[in-house]
Structure 1
């Protein structure tokens, strides 16, 4: 079984214009674009047309948690305009975070309310992790478990690289949330601390993560697609091509 292969275009934010990259990504074997705000902000429908003209689609897209909380209907409208099925809030700014279970349950409650609204329109809400969700709170619990513990309606886009950076075991997290995972980001890292060139990130297969060992666990999840992402590549083409090649070698993706 192979999965649609998506490219998180945040990876290419420093190499505009983004739309010029779309035909190249399609030629590399990518099936979908995962956009982040503001890539689609000036015109969601126009961005969708550009993606589809390149022969790709949009499965999920990153959007602000505050937007989901304040106006879920608007963000569902945007999802429909760009043709996405999954709304993915990815972040809580550092200045807003609190080291209490109640705060992180509150994040989960916001996601759950958004998920309930999205479900009325046949859409899904999924959380995307970074490293901070795996740092133990004073009581020993973890933010990620509070976020996802509120409602099974909230799904999960699991970022493997950030889990490693957060000091957790990606194999255990894939097992723990197998039935909640709708997308898997195969982000790779040069080490657990994020040092070195390119902020320590690497193309899939060029870092320390044992992807071959994780593939059986990925296949046991409810994931519908896999995603390539790099937070600061020196060369977006090299990153995108190498990651696509590795995902095909792993048997996760088809394409070119």
Structure 2
């Protein structure tokens, strides 16, 4: 990818005009010409995401009523990936794993991952997920731990779960909420999880909304822990929401999070899966919001 961007920059530079020789001149006018050309290069390397998904929890009520009908609507909005959750009928929604895979695949959707209770029956669940070539099983919630040592113990559990997943041909990841970005005894719990898990066994799904809500810097994490964050939740935050307010998600593009900038940094540092999620709906239904969010993702340039 770096080589490709370098090539695009070079091509854009030549297309912008013969400004390269001006490097050898020192006049303000010439420096201005070079700066303008540089801005043109930066604009030229913008790209759109070819693949993006949705966390089905965003339309959980519709999933509970009729999972197949809900997924068919999702497919019609332009998503090409889905991330599931355990809605009480298993992550396969009352179907066999192979049946669910075929159903979603026939709709043009890749069932790449699912949130699941990875602390129970992980051997069976990983075997079923691996059989249909899912990429990830994800722990969606562990709850605030009462000490740094408890987070280290959790990291050990993650390593063991990751080993089971790896043996079945898939990966394990942890999805955060805000509490792992609240300092404890002068340390950040999320850093403890990152630094005490084996990169060969454990990845992370950064819920960008929750990180921002807790005043963490997503881009700084992507850069510091390069290639550890392979998935992310793309969820916007209401303009004017109070600091730390939890219930403030909104339709993408209507909030305060600069996803063009953040996702560029994410992709440059190893991000592979971009998953839409929304949990609060004002003046719209969850399904309408899902459609609007798909339109945003299709048009987003990073």
When normalised by structure 2's length, the TM-score is 0.74
Equivalent in 186, 194, 200 of residue 148 of structure 1 = 194
Is 1:168 equivalent to 2:220 in the alignment? no
Q: Counterpart in 2 of 1:194?
A: 245
Q: Counterpart in 2 of 1:229?
A: 277
Is contact 1:4-1:31 (8 Å) kept? yes
1:41 CA drift (Å):
4.9
Is contact 2:133-2:169 (8 Å) kept? no
Is contact 1:136-1:142 (8 Å) kept? yes
Which consecutive unaligned segments of at least 5 residues does structure 1 have?
A: none
Q: Which structure has the larger Rg over C-alpha atoms?
A: 2
Local SS of the residue matching 2:183: coil
Q: Counterpart in 2 of 1:135?
A: 182
When normalised by structure 1's length, the TM-score is 0.87
Q: Counterpart in 1 of 2:72?
A: 23
Equivalent in 53, 61, 69 of residue 6 of structure 1 = 53
Is contact 2:165-2:171 (8 Å) kept? yes
Change (3 A) 1:244 1:148: same
Q: Counterpart in 2 of 1:204?
A: 252
Is 1:244 equivalent to 2:261 in the alignment? no
1:134 CA drift (Å):
0.3
Is 1:120 equivalent to 2:201 in the alignment? no
Structure 1 CA distance for aligned equivalents of residues 275 and 268 of structure 2 = 17
Is contact 2:234-2:276 (8 Å) kept? yes
Change (3 A) 1:41 1:25: closer
Local SS of the residue matching 1:59: strand
CA RMSD of aligned residues (A): 1.9
Structure 2 CA distance for aligned equivalents of residues 160 and 44 of structure 1 = 32
Corresponding residue pairs, total:
242
